[in-house]
Chain A
Amino acid sequence: MESNAGTLETRSNKTALEREEVAALESLQFTDEIHCLMSAPATDNASSFTALLELPAPQAVQLIHSPDSAKLIAAPAPNVEDFKGGFHFPSNGGLIERAARFSVFAGEGNNNSDSPEATSNNSSANLQKAVKSEPAETDSSQPLISDPTVENRGIKRKDREKVKGQTKKSKTTVKESSDDTEKLPYVHVRARRGQATDSHSLAERARREKINARMKLLQELVPGCNKISGTALVLDEIINHVQSLQRQVEFLSMRLAAVNPRVDFNFDSVFTAE
């Protein structure tokens, strides 16, 4: 039900969103692609649009309805014919500061059956890569920073649980951004659904993900650990394995001590035995 309402509203507001998105993406020099999209009729092609926008429909709706969107400053976009100049991107420091702290990039919509997850994944990844290569302090990056801020505000305004769109957690640069809030490297952090996006929990989550990745490696090393689920049990298994290995070393050295005196070591033969 929500998704249907979302798509309907999206379609009606598509041009507005399109303009905004166009202005934002202009700086990324996706001009040609944008032109292609703009020339396409506005009412259809929801899939490609949402893929480009990287916002699930309801979030895009909130974007329009939130009063912050009125503050968006008109970006220089001389090539865009339809752009009426009605959108302003905020350039004040406070907004950017907030963007630094918890700018959210909407990711693929996991529950949203309308948005194609594959394309949104790809485009989001591409966008992210392109964004990462952007210089940190150019004016063109500002609209992008503020754009997610607006999205974030819009998201926070309404009940997040109702938001259909899923956002994916990517590598966070929030730690760096929390130090320097005015001029930032591009912050593209995604919050999981229903989770806080402040810098502490994001850093915490990044740490946890690192730890989980390492636990996975350990699970592969320790035999029989793959089937166990739950960190505590896996850690138990790892500890047991390390202990058993240490005991084996001791046991083998005892055997060697017993066997040792009678044997001369022939290096070559031992090596060939390997």
Chain B
Amino acid sequence: VKNPSSSLKSRFITRFLGALTKINAEDPISSPSPTRILQLYRRIKVASNKSMAYSVRSRRIWSRAMLSRFRSRRSAFSGRRSSVKTTNCTTINVTINENKTAKGGLDMQTDELRELVPGGEAMDVCNLLDETAHYIKCLTTQVQVMRKIVDFCHISKKSSM
């Protein structure tokens, strides 16, 4: 049983709120334009997923995949190409395809699931289901926390108006 003060939820909350304040601090205008909102939206989305991935750290395949994705994205922005990772993925993909035909009619759905769960391409069905379960759990926590934050923001906004 995890210590409640260091549970996944609290770790996520701490990180996410920290990221939000950081994003908030950059914003000069109080009523942003739609483009600004879109920019903020993207940043917040990334911050949310990142916070969750960091809270899970490397304990799960999907979080590791997500973290490496973030890191490669960052390195791609700074000019370097991380093409090695994609070729690895494709070779793994080929072998997985050969193995998948044995499973029969569920291939389509496992394919879809693989696309949804980060890092799902390189997993066998057994691990995929495991990771999906944990991923669902983390996603629900994420949604829960974000909803509470939004409600809180709305409430404080209303009270300040």
Chain A positions within 8 Å of B, measured between CB atoms, are 207, 210-211, 214-215, 217-218, 221-222, 231-232, 235-236, 238-239, 241-243, 245-246, 248-250, 252-267, 269-271, 273-274
Contact = CB atoms under 8 A, between A and B. Distances in A.
Contacts of B113: 235, 238-239, 242
A221 B137 contact: yes
Would you call the interface of chain A mostly helix, strand, loop, or mixed? helix
A273 B154 CA distance: 13
Nearest to A266: B156
A58 B76 CA distance: 70
A261 B139 contact: no
Interface stretch (B19-27, B80-88, B90-98): B19-27
B37 A257 contact: yes
B149 A270 contact: yes
Contact of A218 (B17, B133, B146): B133
A232 B109 contact: yes
Contacts of B106: 231-232, 235
A256 B150 contact: yes
A221 B135 CA distance: 11
B63 interface: no
Contact of B146 (A222, A252, A269): A252
Contacts, number: 137
Contacts of A239: 109, 112-113, 116
A117 to B, nearest CB: 31
B109 A249 contact: no
A31 B120 CA distance: 54
Given A270-B17, A274-B148, 5 more contacts: A235-B110, A239-B109, A260-B40, A270-B148, A273-B148
A272 B13 CA distance: 12
Would you call the interface of chain B mostly helix, strand, loop, or mixed? helix
Interface string B123-161: 001100110110111011011011111111110110010
A271 B13 contact: yes
B79 interface: no
A214 B129 contact: yes
Given A256-B149, A261-B32, A265-B24, A274 B143 contact: no
Nearest to B147: A252
Interface in B1-43: 9, 13, 17, 20-21, 23-24, 27, 29-32, 37-38, 40-41, 43
Contacts of B55: none
29 contacts: A211-B129, A222-B136, A232-B109, A235-B106, A235-B109, A235-B110, A236-B109, A239-B109, A245-B139, A246-B139, A249-B49, A249-B142, A252-B147, A256-B44, A256-B150, A257-B37, A259-B153, A260-B24, A261-B24, A261-B27, A261-B30, A261-B40, A263-B153, A263-B156, A265-B21, A265-B24, A270-B13, A270-B152, A273-B152
A256 B153 contact: yes
Nearest to B135: A242
A262 B45 CA distance: 18
A262 B150 CA distance: 12
A138 B135 CA distance: 46
B48 A243 contact: no
B20 A265 contact: yes
Given A260-B40, A265-B21, A221 B133 contact: yes
What 4 pairs across the A-B complex have the smallest Cβ distances? Answer: A257-B40, A214-B129, A245-B139, A257-B41
Contacts of A221: 133, 136-137
Given A236-B109, A249-B139, A260-B20, A214 B154 contact: no
Given A262-B30, A265-B24, A253 B139 contact: no
A259 B30 CA distance: 10
Most chain B CB within a 10 A radius of its CB, from A243, A246, A257, A274: A257
B117 interface: yes
A261 B31 contact: yes
A250 B21 contact: no
Contacts of A210: 126
A249 B113 CA distance: 18
